[in-house]
Amino acid sequence: MLEERRIDTFVFGMGCFWSPEANFGQLPGVLRTRVGFAGGTKSDPTYRQMGDHTETVEVTYDPDAISLEQLLRKFWNDHNPNRPAYKERQYISLLLYQNAEQKTIMEAVKQQLEVERKNTIYTEIAPMHDFTEAEPHHQKYYLKRFKKATEQLMSHFPSEAAFHTSTITSRLNGFVREYGTLASIKEEIAKWNISDDEAIRIQEMLDGLKW
């Protein structure tokens, strides 16, 4: 019997959402990723009509495998939170907390890094309200540039939405962006909370991909 595991969600903005989705999607412990718009007030934002929202990444993760503190340190290490605003709020450095515990951790890690760096961090930390998923062509953007592999992968999923929110497509989206390797993905699969048959199926799917 497979063990139930805890899951949590982390939402952030650090510039154009394509690369951060790939970067965080390759991390062991991350279960799935989506890109979208959040942090603003406009109803039903789209990429062309974003209003006061920010491009964000939603990361669903297993806190027993990777902590929020680890994710936050990666967030701050992988971009410049103090760069001048560009396109109003679209590309700002932003953290959105789901609850009081997340807010406390975000503020604590920020303070620790400010002491370590001897510099003020100007990331906006705000409550999470609505997350609007971006249009399909923005999801797993780098993986979809490999059309043959994407077509093969799509055939293994019941819907495009399932493809977008899969752990394996999150890893592969990172791999094609040169975050991680196929070998490391295959090694990690053996540790996933899935049946042996499912692990074999995924391994065979990877072995059969045509890039």
Q: Using CA atoms, how far apart are residues 38 and 107, in angstroms rounded to an integer?
A: 19
Q: Using CA atoms, how far apart are residues 28 and 146, in angstroms rounded to an integer?
A: 23
Which residue among the candidates 9, 13, 16, 24 is catalytic per the annotation? 16
Residues 113 and 20 sit within 8 Å (Cβ to Cβ): no
Beta strand 54-61 with 131-133 is: unpaired
Answer left, alpha or beta for residue 22, where phi above 0 means left and psi between -120 and 50 means alpha: alpha
- Residue 54 has phi, psi (to 5 degrees) of -120, 145
Listed residue (165, 129, 179) closest to 20, CA to CA: 179
Tokens of 146: 């490999």
13 has catalytic annotation: no
Residues involved in catalysis: 16
